[in-house]
Structure 1
Amino acid sequence: MSFNYSSIIDEQLSRDDPLFWNRPTPVNCNTIRIMGIFLCIAAFVGIIFNGTLFYSFIRYKGLRSPPNIFVMFIVGMGLFASCTILPLTGTSSIYCQWLYKRTGCQLSAIVAFLYGCSSSYLLCGASLSRCYIIIRPFQAKYITVNRCIVISCIAIFIAFIWTMLPVIGWNEYTMEGARTSCCINWYDRRTSYISFLFFLFIVVYCIPLIILIIANTITMFGLKQMRERIENGIQTVFNRKRIEMERCILKSIIITTSGFIFTWTPYAITFFVSAFQGKDYAIPPMATFFCACFAKTSVIWIPMLYAVTSTQFQLNFVNRDALDQSIGTKRIDATVFNAPILPQKNGEIMMMKPITENINDIQSIATKID
């Protein structure tokens, strides 16, 4: 079903005119109000979830493994988004009109765009780092926490550049059809506006999606081959724990990637189709509003999926004894190779028994991989 946006968009009003931002929603106010209440609840839940996860990353060093650094940045961005875009859109939807003028609209759209773009890039970074650790375990030492922090900062900076392009004139941030939220102008038929939407669809959605699918597919095949080698080799407690841990990792990969696709795909397809149909035959504003709201609630889905599927983080509590313990490189290497530790004392080598049965070493390996 198509919708003529010319009936609700007054092109005679300037963006500097306060009347442009104060007009009520042209769609059913009761439905919009219900969605506004839902968004306010989602904002509260997002603050609790992301705040708890972010505190856990800061508090417990054991959670700050290289792949988890990307998740930590996603959580930090999600906490900022939960404090801004969801309350702004939610309260405006309750009152059935935008309440925060042009400045609030710009801020809401910029934060939403920055979060969506940066989270897609950071998820790619997490998948690629995990893939490298699984496929090349003997070179995992090159995937360090500091390098992951640098890559995360670069990803957010690139997302910030894309976010600023509409501000400097390539497209613009304006009201969506329901007039209670803000986004990129996808109903304008000017060539520059359409070209930016095409660019956005490729670099923010398609390319990260392809990277996620390829990286996670390679990881799944790598885990399968590793499981076959372990099952055909010597059966030890460590090997059995390793297989169990790999199954948890595989489940986490599938659920996280599916969650990203499920959350952002409806909105990406909606604005992409609407952009090429134009304002005369665009998708109804209520449909785009629902898709946009669902995409914005990804601030709670991503941390929730991580908390449920991670082998290190428990949803209800954090095992402080496991996370506060130090992670020794010698113990990790000895466990991987099923070899004894040979510590030195006063220049003499002391022989010790193999530690493959030690559960603390298994937790150390889980910290490297998860």
Structure 2
Amino acid sequence: MHVPANATPTAPPLEKNGTPGPFDGPQWPYQAPRSTYVAVAVLMGMVVVLASFVNGLVILVSLRYRKLRSPLNYILLNLAVADLLVTFFGSTVSFSNNINGYFILGRTVCEFEGFMVSLTGIVGLWSLAILAFERYIVICKPMGDFRFQQRHAVIGCGFTWVWSLIWTMPPLFGWSSYVPEGLRTSCGPNWYTGGSNNNSYIMMLFVTCFVMPLSVIIFSYSSLLVTLRAVAAQQKESETTQRAEREVTRMVIAMVLAFLVCWLPYTTFALVVAIDKDIVIQPTLASMPSYFSKTATVYNPIIYVFMNRQFRNCMLTTVCCGRNPFSSDEDSTTSGAASKTEVTSVSSGGGGKVSPA
């Protein structure tokens, strides 16, 4: 169709309150100043670059080095894949939308983005829980001489995807929905609209995909700390044991705090709004938990992977073209044997042993 050169551009359709719809035109200054959208775009751009690099590096070294294919590292690889998918389907779309000020890709892509970010985000959450449970089984030995093997890791990784699918598919079929949220430049589960349909889904999602994995993480790491402290108490004269106990304690605190800082604001906002629809939350404030949760794709690999000596050495060797500048040749060749903290079960009549990572 020919459009005259002097034709006046058609204005985007307006909602009842006189603002453009989330798919129709820029949301500034109706939802927030343009500077807010620019700031969020900058944040998402940084997340895209950093998360793509670190998670891509994890996947690359996992494929390159056979010695990294241990049960524990299968779970770390699953976490990296989930984080990379969150970056691709969530952070990149959010970056593009915030530059333009609205969801430029349309309603269908909005629903798909909400589904994919929820799916891969929950896979990441449950990967952290499976990782914590694996550490509990290996170190605390609640099942005696049970060995966590490759098939158990594969089953654990498969569980994260199946469980996530179970709880992220319903909005595509009518139990709640995926809608623009906050600044209206990203999409997620509908915790804005009232009604038992949405409220029941948000409550179930809160329990099955936040409370449950968090409970597994807290239980596993609490048991791990109790075991390590018992071993350290039996070996008070050993500086190595005491140092290992302190290092693991710091790592556990960092892991739990990172989980809470990343996901607690988002789940709290969703739960509060689902319960009290009369509460008024500014769009910028309502968006921050969602965008902040996407930053987990950057610090997840830093906490869970870079603290693993095997991964760290292989990454440095890869980045530095064949040589790790921060370790000797002997350390590089023996890093596999010292890549994790090992603790024998603590019994009433025997001692324990801790070897530092």
TM-score tier by shorter-chain length is 0.7 to 0.9
Cα deviation code 1:40-83 (max 9, x no counterpart): 22111110010001112222233333233222101011112212
Alignment of 1:54-93 (within 5 A): 54-93=59-98
Alignment of 1:115-264 (within 5 A): 115-136=120-141, 139=144, 142-231=147-236, 244-264=243-263
Q: Larger RCO: Structure 1 or Structure 2 (Cα < 8 Å, ≥ 6 residues apart)?
A: 1
Offset at residue 251 of structure 1 (A) = 2.6
SS of the residue aligned with 1:364? coil
The amino acid that maps onto 2:256 is T
SS of the residue aligned with 1:175? strand
Q: Distance in 1 between matches of 2:248 and 2:69?
A: 16
Cα deviation code 1:332-361 (max 9, x no counterpart): xxxxxxxxxxxxxxxxxxxxxxxxxx9977
Q: Distance in 1 between matches of 2:276 and 2:307?
A: 40
Offset at residue 182 of structure 1 (A) = 0.5
Q: Distance in 1 between matches of 2:251 and 2:66?
A: 21
Instruction: Give the match for residue 289 of structure 1.
Output: 287
| CA 202–306 in structure 1, closer or farther in 2 if over 3 Å, else same | same
The amino acid that maps onto 1:21 is F
SS of the residue aligned with 2:188? strand
| CA 138–107 in structure 1, closer or farther in 2 if over 3 Å, else same | closer
| CA 199–364 in structure 1, closer or farther in 2 if over 3 Å, else same | same
In the alignment, structure 1 segments of 5+ residues that lack a partner are 1-7, 323-357
| CA 169–10 in structure 1, closer or farther in 2 if over 3 Å, else same | farther
Q: Distance in 2 between matches of 1:321 and 1:241?
A: 28
| CA 116–45 in structure 1, closer or farther in 2 if over 3 Å, else same | same
Q: Which structure: greater helix fraction?
A: 1
Q: Distance in 1 between matches of 2:15 and 2:294?
A: 24
1:313 aligns with 2:318: no
Contact 2:98 2:185 in 1 (8 A): yes
Cα deviation code 1:231-276 (max 9, x no counterpart): 46xx6xxxx6565445433332221221111111111111211122
Offset at residue 181 of structure 1 (A) = 0.8
SS of the residue aligned with 2:51? helix
Q: Distance in 2 between matches of 1:145 and 1:249?
A: 24
SS of the residue aligned with 2:339? helix
Q: Structure 1 runs of 4+ off > 6 angstroms? A: 319-322, 358-362
| CA 244–72 in structure 1, closer or farther in 2 if over 3 Å, else same | farther
Over the matched positions of the two proteins, sequence identity in percent amounts to 21
Q: Distance in 2 between matches of 1:187 and 1:287?
A: 14
| CA 295–154 in structure 1, closer or farther in 2 if over 3 Å, else same | same
Instruction: Give the match for residue 364 of structure 1.
Output: 337
Instruction: Give the match for residue 264 of structure 2.
Output: 265
Q: Distance in 2 between matches of 1:9 and 1:297?
A: 32
Instruction: Give the match for residue 304 of structure 1.
Output: 302
1:111 aligns with 2:102: no
Contact 2:90 2:117 in 1 (8 A): yes
Contact 2:139 2:224 in 1 (8 A): yes
SS of the residue aligned with 1:223? helix
| CA 137–197 in structure 1, closer or farther in 2 if over 3 Å, else same | closer
The count of residues paired between Structure 1 and Structure 2 equals 317
Q: Distance in 2 between matches of 1:310 and 1:249?
A: 12
Contact 1:24 1:179 in 2 (8 A): no
Contact 2:15 2:21 in 1 (8 A): no
Q: Distance in 2 between matches of 1:101 and 1:321?
A: 47
Contact 2:67 2:336 in 1 (8 A): no
Q: Distance in 1 between matches of 2:245 and 2:339?
A: 9
In the superposition, the TM-score normalised over structure 2's length comes to: 0.80
Offset at residue 306 of structure 1 (A) = 2.5
In the alignment, structure 2 segments of 5+ residues that lack a partner are 1-13, 325-330, 343-356
Q: Distance in 2 between matches of 1:309 and 1:359?
A: 15
In the superposition, the TM-score normalised over structure 1's length comes to: 0.77
